Amino acid sequence: AQSVTQLDSQVPVFEEAPVELRCNYSSSVSVYLFWYVQYPNQGLQLLLKYLSGSTLVKGINGFEAEFNKSQTSFHLRKPSVHISDTAEYFCAVRVGVSGGYNKLIFGAGTRLAVHP
């Protein structure tokens, strides 16, 4: 069965410091990978996605992620965070199956807290 593990439940960081939010997945087939951000009492907003091609994916708000097939990882990074990046971040995997339903599996989330 496919699963997604976000290795840190909380990540505190100072403003303007770099940050990495870690995500590992388990799947024996091709996957599509996503990172979402959730601000308090709101829905999820797509940050970036990996479908194929270049393993380094750039998203909104200065975030990027690198797909590593051998390590089954899809870590999210930002070189310099802002207070406004304080939110919860979810990694998700969608298994590519031709036809039929493709389930989106979410990790438990990582709460990023940016301090001044």
Q: Return residues touching other proteins (CB under 8 A).
A: 9, 32, 34, 36, 41-46, 49, 51, 90, 94-98, 101-104, 106-109
Least Å from the CB of residue 92 to other proteins: 8
Q: Enter the tokens of residue 53.
A: 């091609």
CB-nearer residue toward other proteins: 15 or 86: 86
3 state DSSP class of 34: strand
| C-beta separation of 109 from 9 below 8 A | yes
3 state DSSP class of 13: strand
Least Å from the CB of residue 40 to other proteins: 11
What whole-number distance in Å separates Cα of residue 88 and Cα of residue 10?
9
CB-nearer residue toward other proteins: 73 or 110: 110
CB-nearer residue toward other proteins: 13 or 105: 105
